[in-house]
């Protein structure tokens, strides 16, 4: 039996950010990962570090997201120093485009409500008219009637982020165990033992960060993680000279020059196939937003599965039955990477979640039915 | 450096590579035309600006990108030559077409 201070199950962005944070706190960690058969939301995502749409009616989620966006620059520079990997983080603010009067009115109302709910915490936003948008986003088309903007948003190269978190974890003495499934789990308070093939490992802390796999895994540890898959599709154009730095919710240009288009949310179960009709609809709206895109070639396209809790908000929990077992579930592994490394991991290291995390508990789904 | 295969048909299709006229066999690819014209490096990469040339010649590696008849970033190995085709080196990233 190999003993560690903490075991993290799941080597995607959520798990590796937590494992990185734990190793930085001085804990001897093991990171268990699946193989290339995994669904890997971390390798299919859009790469936004996004704040402005998060937490309507749930100000704790807005605060958590903002905390992460604020911690992102420090995480990015720390990863560059420790691993030599530039994760390409930029925070020029972000824009959500509206292509009809109806969309514009709805967006304006949503942003105002976000500001009201933020209270003293504050929520800075502006609605931009087409003239202002032209300066910020050259190439924008006449179909765009306006947009919301906040200074909090940004983007990054999520593949570099995943690479850097893994390398940072390893550099701190972490143990990475890929191509594993959990064959056996011995579960007791602050005493967790896992068997995987010939390996046996144990630790007083365990964090479940296995994405869609958490739904099953959580039950073994007295936890609940009712996550479901939500498909998203992405198109990427050939690389061009830099047109704009500001990301939008559905179109962004990477630092390398490719323009990513991501604009689908589909409830289709565990189906990662691409759908031409969805891709066409995405391309159509992108070209309406930025007519020059029509002249560019699409060089890559893919579909991937988001990890979606029932209400879209993250689930963070600790087991009441088995102290020392934690779970982390969200569809924003890039945005929340800094919160996971710099805020969530220290709580796990300390042995208990901070009371501010209580609203994220899966207990919120256990609402008694009315008689 | 590169020669056509002995069984290849005669060089009958006239194209230009970087403005120089060259005749290549019917059915040849634009990438082959660039190699036959003497270019082993046919583009500069989009990030590092390093010289690159056709490698896999079967549509996978994207190292044969060229500007063909005014359209940038085309995979030269996947485009069959046509009379009068104008093939040029691809210099890094293309322009986005935004003034």
ipTM score of the complex?
0.85
Q: Is residue B68 part of a domain?
A: yes
Superfamily of domain A228-308: D-Amino Acid Oxidase, subunit A, domain 2 (3.30.9.10)
pLDDT one-digit tens code per residue, A122-156: 999 999 999 999 999 999 999 999 999 999 999 99
Q: What's B15's domain CATH number?
A: 3.10.20.740
Give the separation between CA A41 and CA A46, rounded to whole angstroms.
10
Domain that holds residue B61: 11-91
Q: Which of B47, B62, B95 is closest, CB to CB, to A241?
A: B95
Say if residues A221 and A319 touch (Cβ distance below 8 Å): yes
Q: Does residue B29 belong to any structural domain of this protein?
A: yes
At residue A198, the pLDDT reads 86
In contact, B10 and B27? CB cutoff 8 Å: no
**pLDDT value of position B3:** 79
Q: Which residue has the higher pLDDT, B9 or A126?
A: A126
Q: Pick the closest to residue A328 from A339, A243, A110 (CA basis).
A: A339
**Minimal CA separation from B39 to chain A, in Å:** 23
Q: Which two tokens stand for residue A322?
A: 């088995």
pLDDT at residue B10 is higher than 90: no
Whether the per-residue pLDDT at B11 is higher than 90: the answer is: no
B81 lies in some domain: yes
Q: Would you state the pLDDT for residue A263? A: 84
- Do B93 and A243 lie within an 8 Å CB cutoff? no
Task: Give the closest of A240, A297, A299 to B95, CB-based.
Answer: A240
A45: CB partners within 8 A, 6+ apart: A13, A158, A232, A304, A333, A334
Average pLDDT, consecutive stretches of 10 residues, N- to C-terminus, chain A (371 residues): 97 98 98 90 94 94 97 98 97 98 98 95 96 96 98 97 98 96 95 93 98 96 97 96 96 96 94 96 98 95 96 97 97 97 98 96 83 53
> What pLDDT does A27 receive?
98
> Which pLDDT score is estimated for A35?
86
Burial A279-297 (b: 16+ CB within 10 A, else e): beebbebbbbbbbbbeebe
Q: How many domains does chain B have?
A: 1
State the pLDDT at residue B7: 74
- State the nearest Cα–Cα gap between A258 and chain B, in angstroms: 9
Asked if residue B96 is part of any domain, the answer here is no
pTM of the prediction?
0.93
Question: Would you say residue B58 lies in a domain?
Answer: yes
Selection from A304, A7, A289 nearest residue A133 by Cα: A289
Tens of pLDDT, residues B47-64: 999 999 999 999 999 999
Chain A residue numbers touching B47 (CB-CB < 8 A): 239, 256-257
pLDDT above 80: residue B2: no
| Residue B42 included in any domain | yes
Tell me, yes or no, whether B45 lies in a domain: yes
Residues of A with CB under 8 A from a CB of B: 138-139, 238-241, 243, 256-257, 292, 295-297, 299
Q: Indicate whether B98 belongs to any domain.
A: no
Question: Any idea where the domains of chain A sit in the sequence?
Answer: 2-51+159-227+311-364, 94-150, 228-308
Give the CATH class of A2-51+159-227+311-364.
alpha beta
Contact A299 B93 (CB under 8 A): no
Task: Tell me the residues of chain B between 1 and 60 that have a Cβ less than 8 Å away from chain A.
Answer: 46-47
How many CB atoms sit inside 10 A of residue A66's CB? 21
């Amino acid at each position: 039996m190999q003993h560690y201070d903490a075991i993290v199950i799941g080597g995607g962005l959520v798990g590796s950010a937590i494992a990185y944070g734990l190793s930085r706190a001085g804990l001897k960690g093991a990171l268990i990962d699946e193989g290339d058969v995994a669904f890997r939301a971390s390798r299919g995502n859009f790469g936004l570090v996004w704040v402005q749409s998060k937490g309507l009616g749930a100000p704790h989620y807005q605060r958590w997201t903002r905390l992460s966006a604020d911690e992102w620059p420090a995480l990015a520079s720390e990863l560059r120093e420790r691993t030599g990997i530039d994760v390409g983080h930029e925070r020029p603010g972000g824009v959500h485009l509206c292509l009809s009067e109806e969309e514009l009115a709805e967006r304006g109302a949503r942003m105002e409500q976000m500001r009201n709910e933020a209270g003293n915490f504050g929520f800075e936003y502006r609605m931009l008219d087409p003239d202002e948008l032209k300066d910020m986003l050259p190439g924008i088309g006449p179909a765009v009637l306006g947009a919301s903007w906040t200074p909090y948003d940004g983007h990054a190269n999520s593949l570099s982020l995943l690479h850097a978190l893994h390398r940072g974890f390893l550099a701190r003495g972490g143990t990475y165990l890929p191509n594993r499934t959990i064959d056996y789990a011995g579960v007791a308070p602050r005493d967790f033992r896992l068997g995987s093939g010939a390996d046996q490992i144990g630790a007083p802390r365990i964090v479940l960060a296995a994405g869609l796999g958490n739904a099953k895994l959580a039950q073994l540890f007295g936890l609940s993680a009712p996550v479901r898959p939500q498909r998203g599709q992405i198109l990427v154009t050939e690389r061009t000279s830099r047109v704009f730095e500001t990301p939008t919710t559905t179109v962004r240009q990477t630092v390398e020059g490719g323009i990513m288009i991501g604009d689908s949310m589909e409830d289709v179960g565990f189906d990662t196939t691409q759908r031409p009709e969805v891709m066409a609809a995405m391309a159509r709206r992108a070209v309406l937003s930025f007519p020059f895109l029509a002249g560019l070639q699409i060089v890559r396209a893919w579909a991937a599965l988001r990890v979606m809790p029932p209400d879209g908000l993250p689930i963070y929990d600790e087991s009441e039955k088995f102290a020392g077992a934690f779970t982390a579930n969200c569809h924003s592994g890039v945005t929340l990477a800094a919160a996971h490394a710099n805020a969530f991991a220290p709580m796990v290291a300390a042995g208990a979640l901070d009371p501010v995390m209580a609203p994220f508990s899966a207990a919120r789904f256990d609402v008694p039915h009315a008689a | 450096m590169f020669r056509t295969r002995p069984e290849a048909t005669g060089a009958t299709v006239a194209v230009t590579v970087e403005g120089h006229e060259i005749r290549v066999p019917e059915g040849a690819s634009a990438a082959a035309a660039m190699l036959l014209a003497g270019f082993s490096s046919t583009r500069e990469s989009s990030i590092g600006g390093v010289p690159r040339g056709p490698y896999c010649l079967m549509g996978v590696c994207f190292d044969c990108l060229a500007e063909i008849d005014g359209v940038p970033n085309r995979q030269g190995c996947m485009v069959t030559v046509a009379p009068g085709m104008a093939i040029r080196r691809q210099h890094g990233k293309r322009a986005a077409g935004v003034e």
